[in-house]
Structure 1
Amino acid sequence: MALDTDRRRQLHALKLKSLAETYLGISLSDLNGTEDGAIGIKRHDNCVTAVILAEERCSRAVGVAMAAATQAKADVIHIFAKEEASSLASAAELFRTSPTVWELNDRVATVAVASDPTSKESTDVDPELIAVLEAADLDVVYEHGIVAGEIRGLEVARIESDGEEQRIAVGVGAHDREAFALLHGGMPSGEALLRVTETVRFHRRAGAEPHPLNRLNAERWLRSQLIGSPQKIGATVLSSASPPTARRSLKETIPAVAYGRMAEGNQVVVVCTIGIDLNLIAFGAQARMYTDPEAQLIFVVPERDAHPLLKAMVEKLMVPAELIAIDDDWRDWKSSGSLA
C-alpha cells in the first residue's frame, strides 16, 4: 500500500537524520521532510551546514540545496542523492560554494564523481519534411536529435523515423500523435498540419480563454516571444537551443533555452521559465556549459516570478550571470523580427 504524504515526509526526514549522523558526524537541529526528500540544517559555532536528501525528482536537487543554503546562509552544503548523482556533481561545481554530492546505493553513500558534459546529437533530417513544417508556418526546433514543429512554443508535429523512412507525425504530445495517426493515417501531411494548427493557434494566443493548449509549456512560449523580440533583453538575434538534458515528455516542465548574440556583439545563452523554479539557476548554468561555456548567461522570468532568492542564487555562480524580469504581459508582445 502506498504511503500517505505525511508518513513519506517523516521517513525522508528520518533517513536524512541517519545519513548526516553516519557520514557527516553531525546531528541536524532543523530538519524537515518533503515529498521529494528532506532538508536539514546544522548551526555550529562558526559554521552553518545544509544537508539535502533527494529521493524523488533528483535532477532538481542542486537548485533545492542552493536555495536552502542561501536562506540559511550555509557555509557547507551536502546532497545525498538516490539517482543522477554524477550529473548533480557536475552542476554543483558551477557554484562558488560547491555542494558535496553523495551517491546513495541503498543505505551506503559514496562521494559522487562529476560526469562529463553530454555530447550533442547530430540531426540528419529530410529537408523536404522541414519545408513542409515551414510551409505550415511552424517554428522548427531541434533538441537532442528531435526535430519538431511548434506554435508559440507548443509542439504540434515532429519528424519521426522507423529506421528506413522519415515522416511527419502530427499531434500535441505522443498520445495525440498516436491517436491522430490511427484516425487520419492516410491524410497528407500538409492537410493534417492545417487541421491541428488551426485549433492550436485559436487557443494559444494572447487574450484567449483558459485552455490546456495555452497552459502547456508556457516557458517555451516565452522563449518564442523572445526569439521574435530579442531587443526586449538587449539581444539582436536569438534562436532555440537544446537544454542540457532532454525533456522526457511534453508535460515535463523544464526551462527553455535560446542562443544568440547581444547588441554588443557577444554570444549569449538565455534561459526562460514561468513561475518560481528553484532549480532555474543550476539548470541555466549547465545550459551555458552545454551550449557555449564562454557565452554570457541571462535568466528571463516575468516580473512576478523574479523572487529575491533567485537573484541571490545567481550571485553564487562561479561565472557571472544576470536575471532579467520582463513584463507580466509578455504574451501580448508583437514580434519585431530578429536583427541580423
Structure 2
Amino acid sequence: MTRQYLEAPPSSRATESLEGEPASAPIEISDVLEAGSLYALNLTGHGFVLLSESSARSLSAALIWAAQQPVQRLTVFADAVGVTDAPSATAARPEDLARWAQYFLVADQPIEVRLIEGTGSTGIQPGPVPPASVPPERDSVLEQHLIDEGLEVVHEHGVTRGELLGLEVARLVVWPQESGGDNALHLEVGVGRFDRDAHAAVRPDESPIDDLAKTVSILRDHRFPGAPTHAVQRLSRERWLRALLLDQPSLVGAHSLTALGMTTEPSGLRDAFPAAAIGSTEDGTPLVVVCSCGVDLALLPLAADLREQVNSEAVLLLAVPEQDHHVATKWLASMLRQPAELIAIAVGWG
C-alpha cells in the first residue's frame, strides 16, 4: 500500500496485488481507513498500514487499529519522506520503527515493517538500540546550590538539571571556548532553554545563585499537590510523577529508584514525553519504571526500547495517574512480547 497505490485509478487497483496478497476483488479507496497519521486496510485478516508520520506514536496507533479489527498479520509501511537522523517520539528512522515494532506481536505474529520506494517497498531490518548516554560532567559546588534550594538533582542525557517536582528550573551548562566561554560548567536558571536565555538577557549582573532562589520561590507558589490550575503546575507532569516515585519507590513495589533518561529525548518542554527510572525490589529483582500522563501513544514503544537498552530481563512497570489508566495503554501493554505491568498512582496534584 503506497501513496501511488491510493492515488491510482480504481481500474488499475483492481488488478494489482498488495505485497503478495492477490487482489481477488477490486479494492476501492473507500475500503482504506484514514485515521490521523495512518491509512489502514484489512485484507482478509492481513492488516496493511501506511504511516504518514514515522514515529512511535504512529506505530502504536497502527497496533491499536490492528487490535480493534482484529487482524492475524500486520504489515506497516513507512515513507522515506521526513526521515530524521535522531529518533524521537514524533519522528524516527525506518530502522528505529522496525526495532520498536519487534517488541510487539499481533495475534502472536511478528510485525513486518517495510520502506516505500517508488511504487514498491523493501523490508527493513531493525536498527541497534541506542547506547546509553555519557554521564555529565559534574561540579559538586554547583550541584550543592541546587540541593540547598530543595531541588531534585537529575543526571540525564549527559546533562545535570535541578528540578522542582520534575520541572526543570536550572541546569549546569558548559560555556564553550569557541563561543567566548571558558569551557567550564556554569549554573543557568530558567524553565527550559528560552527562559534561561531570557534570564541571562534580563538579569545579566545578577548572581545565578540569587536568581535561582527567586525563581524557585516564584515557582513553588504554583507547583505543589493540589495547587490551583496554572501553566507551571501542568508542565512536565510525567517527570513530576517520577519525582514522586523517586521519593516513594514503594508505590511501585521498589526498594530504591534512580532517574534515567529514555533512549530518545523530548523535542520540547511542553511535549508529553515519558520519564524513567531504574531500580530493584527488596529481593533484588531489576526494575525499569516508565512514567506517563494522559494517553501518550509513544509510551509503550519507548518504554520497551529502554528496557532493551538497560536490561532486557528487567520487569517493566508503567506508572500512570489513576485517571489515565486507559484501555489503549492496556491493549498496547498486552501486545508486548515481554509483559509489562500497568500501575495506577494516586497523584493528588489537582
TM-score, normalised to structure 1, is: 0.85
Task: Look up the SS of the partner of 1:235 in the other structure.
Answer: coil
Of 74, 77, 82 in structure 2, the residue corresponding to residue 80 of structure 1 is 77
Where do residues 163-242 of structure 1 align in structure 2 (5 Å cutoff)? 163=176, 164-242=183-261
Of 142, 153, 156 in structure 2, the residue corresponding to residue 129 of structure 1 is 142
Aligned length: 316
CA distance in 1, matches of 2:58, 2:36: 13
Residue identity opposite 1:75 in structure 2: Q
Which residue matches 1:299? Answer: 318
Cα deviation for residue 107 of structure 1 reads 5.4
Q: Does residue 331 in structure 1 map to residue 349 in structure 2?
A: yes
Q: What whole-Å deviation, never above 9, does each CA across 1:120-144 have from its counterpart, x for those lacking one?
A: 2222232322222222221111221
Which residue matches 2:52? Answer: 55
Residue identity opposite 1:117 in structure 2: V
CA distance in 2, matches of 1:321, 1:111: 28
Q: Does residue 69 in structure 1 map to residue 66 in structure 2?
A: yes
Q: What whole-Å deviation, never above 9, does each CA across 1:45-97 have from its counterpart, x for those lacking one?
A: xxx22222222362323212221111222221122223321111111111233
Task: Look up the SS of the partner of 1:203 in the other structure.
Answer: coil
Contact 2:171 2:187 in 1 (8 A): yes
Contact 1:260 1:269 in 2 (8 A): yes
Cα deviation for residue 263 of structure 1 reads 2.8
Which residue matches 2:86? Answer: none
Residue identity opposite 1:331 in structure 2: W
CA distance in 2, matches of 1:37, 1:15: 15
The change in CA–CA distance for 1:202 and 1:255 in structure 2 (over 3 A counts) is same
Where do residues 96-175 of structure 1 align in structure 2 (5 Å cutoff)? 96=105, 97-105=109-117, 109-122=121-134, 123-163=136-176, 164-175=183-194
Which residue matches 1:37? Answer: 38
CA distance in 2, matches of 1:289, 1:67: 22
Tell me how large the CA RMSD over aligned residues is: 2.5
Which consecutive residues of structure 2, in runs of 5 or more, have no partner in the other structure? 84-92, 177-182
Contact 1:225 1:331 in 2 (8 A): no
- In terms of fraction of residues, the more helix-rich structure is 1
CA distance in 1, matches of 2:329, 2:56: 18
Task: Look up the SS of the partner of 1:243 in the other structure.
Answer: coil
Q: What whole-Å deviation, never above 9, does each CA across 1:183-219 have from its counterpart, x for those lacking one?
A: 1122222111111111111111122121111111111
Cα deviation for residue 21 of structure 1 reads 5.2
Contact 1:270 1:297 in 2 (8 A): yes
Contact 1:219 1:273 in 2 (8 A): yes
Task: Look up the SS of the partner of 2:251 in the other structure.
Answer: helix
Q: What whole-Å deviation, never above 9, does each CA across 1:285-324 have from its counterpart, x for those lacking one?
A: 1121122222111111122222233223222211122111
CA distance in 2, matches of 1:181, 1:299: 38
The change in CA–CA distance for 1:72 and 1:279 in structure 2 (over 3 A counts) is farther
CA distance in 2, matches of 1:255, 1:190: 30
Contact 1:13 1:33 in 2 (8 A): no
Contact 2:133 2:157 in 1 (8 A): yes
Contact 1:157 1:170 in 2 (8 A): yes
Task: Look up the SS of the partner of 2:349 in the other structure.
Answer: helix
Of 252, 260, 276 in structure 2, the residue corresponding to residue 257 of structure 1 is 276
Bigger Cα displacement from structure 2, 202-211 vs 127-136: 127-136
CA distance in 1, matches of 2:97, 2:189: 35
The change in CA–CA distance for 1:234 and 1:330 in structure 2 (over 3 A counts) is farther
Which consecutive residues of structure 1, in runs of 5 or more, have no partner in the other structure? 1-10, 333-340
CA distance in 2, matches of 1:21, 1:138: 60
Cα deviation for residue 331 of structure 1 reads 3.1
TM-score, normalised to structure 2, is: 0.82
Q: Once the two structures are aligned, what percentage of the paired residues are identical? A: 30
Residue identity opposite 1:286 in structure 2: D
Task: Look up the SS of the partner of 2:221 in the other structure.
Answer: helix
Cα deviation for residue 40 of structure 1 reads 2.8
